[in-house]
Amino acid sequence: IIQTTTTCDRRVFLYNNYYYLSNTSIEMNQNHPWNKANKKAHEIVNQMINEKQQGIIVISTNIDQFAKSNNKKFWQEVPFSMMINSKEYLKQKIIIGKYSICLFCSKKITFDDITIDGCVYVVDCVIRGIGNCYITQQLIHTNKSVIQCSFHSPVFTCSWPINTKQLMRSGKKLLKNSNLNEAIQFFHFLLCVRLQTLHHSHIDVAKSYFYLGIAYYNKREHDKAVEYHERSLNIRLDKFGHDHIDVATSYNYLGVVYYNKEEYNKAIEYYERSLKIRLDKLGHDHINVADSYSNLGSVYYGKGEYNKAIEYYEKSLKIGLDKLGHDHIDVATSYHHFGSAYKKKGEYDKAIEYYEKSLKIRSDKLGHDHIRVAHSYNNLGI
């Protein structure tokens, strides 16, 4: 549970590793009224900061149902439920779709047994809690805010101004460490922020789609991966044209997803598009060109066209040997591919030759107890 009893620190996230956003939360980037409402909230936050106002902005579908009459004396503290319909505290209310955007001005606000189906922006004020308090989306706070509320469920929390570069770095780190659910949370939240602050066809929006595509691919949710890679590709095509290297990268990743879906003809289509751009932009001996050749080899291997696979593996290996040297781990992978193709062709002596080359490099570079070394021994045994 997130509970901050001092002024909020300057980290981007007060983050609970065990908390996962619901599917509803994750798909908020596709909710246009939600993004429009948050865009308006961003404007109000900046206006409040400029005018040195204190309070909260609530974006919610259900805030009115918690309203209570204000029966407190003027010297008594007024809980949030009694602020909802009070003109003394409610300074602005805007409706966008099913969402109410409500601005409450006060130095201190006490949430009292309330569930906010949405998000809260806290601007330079103190937030306290009584009973069970919920926020279904996120809480965004300025650095001068003080959060003394123990929420019933952990809340996805972010400091203002929202640092999108830090969010991207955090998402990439989680992705690298295979913390895929958390990475997807970060990338979806980042995507929402970018849709709320940038045009929907901005190149940074494309980047958010791209990394969501990678994260969903790593989770083996291939249809989701295709969806987000296609969105990224469409923006890149529009902004960069058909021969940009980032377009080639999008084509390559779509090829990877379709290969793993065993839709080999589609994979070949995207790999060939990527290869063409890479050859034009990077030259015939670039390592990314080698990757394209290797990927095409793997697709033809999957199709059972082993001679074609070997042809592409040879092109990839030639570049790899030239650029990486004879003892690089990627060269070992190329030898492994050769071994697998020759084994399928029934040319076992050649298969053994390449598997042994792969094994030697892997043993030298990774150590004798690495899983890839075990795979090499297994292939030689088979």
Which tens digits make up the pLDDT trace of 331-377? 999 999 999 999 999 999 999 999 999 999 999 999 988 988 888 88
- 27 — pLDDT class (breaks 50, 70, 90): low
pLDDT at 15: 36
Domain of 271, in residue numbers: 164-381
- Residue 285 covered by a domain: yes
- Mean pLDDT (the chain) is 90
**106 and 212, same domain (yes or no):** no
**203 and 120, same domain (yes or no):** no
Instruction: Please write the tens of the pLDDT for every residue from 97-117.
Output: 999 999 999 999 999 989 999
- Residue 2 covered by a domain: no
**154 and 179, same domain (yes or no):** no
**214 and 296, same domain (yes or no):** yes
Full-model pTM: 0.86
CA 9 to chain centre: 24
> Is the per-residue pLDDT at 22 higher than 90?
no
pLDDT at 23: 45
Which residues does 317 contact at the CB level (< 8 Å), separation at least 6?
Answer: 290, 331, 334, 335, 338
d(CA 291, CA 249): 11
**259 and 359, same domain (yes or no):** yes
Q: Six-digit token pair at 276? A: 């063409």
Which residues does 166 contact at the CB level (< 8 Å), separation at least 6?
Answer: 12
Number of domains within the chain: 2
- Residue 4 covered by a domain: no
